[in-house]
Structure 1
Amino acid sequence: MAINKPTVAQLRAFLALAEHLHFGDAAAALRMSQPALSGAVAALEDTLETRLVERTTRKVLLTPAGRRVARRAEVVMAELDRLVEEVRAVRGPLVGPLSVGVIPTVAPYLLPIVLPRLAKEYPKLELSVHEEQTDQIVAELLAGRLDVVLLALPMPESGVTEIPLYDEDFVLAAPAEFELAPGSAGVSRAVLNDLDVILLNKGHCLRDQALDVCREVGARAAATYATSLATLVQLVSGGLGVTLVPETALPVETRRAPNLSVHRFAAPAPHRRIGLGFRSTSPRAGEFETLAESVRDAVAETGFPAGVRLA
């Protein structure tokens, strides 16, 4: 006699619910409607003939059976994802679906020069891009919902292999009327001691990197924060303080900020390293090395200034 078995869609829906313990958040993570997710979980309960979740007015709780199913489902889905990745790896480099996570302080400046190259070199690549802050895309990577991420190194989590791409200096952006007297070799980091440094909101790795530079020289951060690098530069242009801008962002952001002056730091300039990260257990390491090489080639061909160096 045939036995009903859970479907992949049911298991994915239930695992998302087990992770978020909220139907709305789980549905958003899977990019599906809440009724569809609720229906998939209910169908799984019917298939297994047992209650997996306890629905309250405020949150969702797993039943003892639900906790056991979640543990088993994680193993099943990890093996299924691995099977798919192994098959893709055999077909050839950068063929078929590839989900990439990118942080907001890289995406607008790097993707326009990388995506056309990938489309030309790998026409069978089915690329999807998801822009989120570092913690979110790393969590999505480790959960198997992203294949590879593009962000500032080092990685905040273990179990991820890094491929360095390039280093880029930070540049000091200030209102045009600010009187800074750089030497021929550039401004000293110590100049930050006399200025209010505007930062991005919490969650952006660029905020943390800027804070590290400030701490090195004992500089203070201003009480003004921004949700994006574009807004940050506009606040500086409006005279609210200064900020640190990655070299690759300058061509885009300075065009939209008329009252802005740009000053490069004396060597060694503060900088960040941008790279790829993928699960250390992924069989697609060779593909990601190929992807990294394409990104480096695209960066090299753009003619970025000396403040950007291939890793």
Structure 2
Amino acid sequence: MEETREISALFHLIDDPDDEVFNTVSNRIISIGANIIPNLEHLWETTPDESVQDRIELLIHRLHYCDLVQEFTRWKSLPEPDLLAGALLVSKFQYPDLNVNNVLQDVEKMRRNIWLELNSYLTPLEQTNVLTTILYNYYHLKGTELNHSEPNDFLLNKVLDAKRGNSISNGILYLVLCDLLDIPIRAVHIPRQFILAYFELDNGQWDKLPANPSHRIQFYIDPMSGQVFTQKDVETYFRRISVPPTASFFRPLSNVRIVQVLLEEFAKCFENDQHYYKYDELMQLSAMISE
């Protein structure tokens, strides 16, 4: 963006020690929109004062966040919000310059490698074993415990780079591949877990599932490792945590709800004084797309 007299004046006031002045200046800069980001980046490069650099970084982040709010609004308004697109929007919170096409290419390579090993004669368990073997053995995807001091473990682009993620991010990758391959696996709301389930459907129609679809679940998958669990294993788990297995726990989670879970858990990575504004922003995004 061409640096006008107004922009130059605003930039001269970024280092003003008066918080009220800085808030007025920052609000005006934000109102100009994302086109001003290159100017701010140039100002950051030519500013020796670290405290002023911090202010500039915050302004750039707020501009990216405003764009992200609009992108999430558009995503939520779609008739069927796509899980991969939603997960990548979460990644863009931390990596606003993310090359989405590179991620899509990586996912497509995985899909093709799995598709080449599938055929219509495989049983549900054999289908799942093909996907699990390629994902965890061929690509060496690793599962890590949910650790809020490792924000990258929540982000799909970083999971694809490092081949490691937690149950939520690995689970999202697994679900994205299942959707692309028409394998009827969805996430279910088992307490304190992010678990996937293979459903038996009527003519592939998810909307025909009964109110309590537990008897339609053939088995469960732990996205940390790809390990398969039976209904009996899950019933044992419910007894151990002293929670009655009500119908709601066995209904497939929507893509919007999964992205909400991702946003809320990712937000916990920023529950500290220095980055608490990021916690607030992520929770606001979660509330905004609430069903």
TM over 0.5: no
Q: Which has the higher strand share?
A: 1
Q: Which has the higher helix share?
A: 2
Q: TM-score range by the shorter chain?
A: under 0.3
TM-score, structure 2 as length reference: 0.26
Higher RCO, 1 vs 2 (CA within 8 Å, ≥6 residues apart): 1
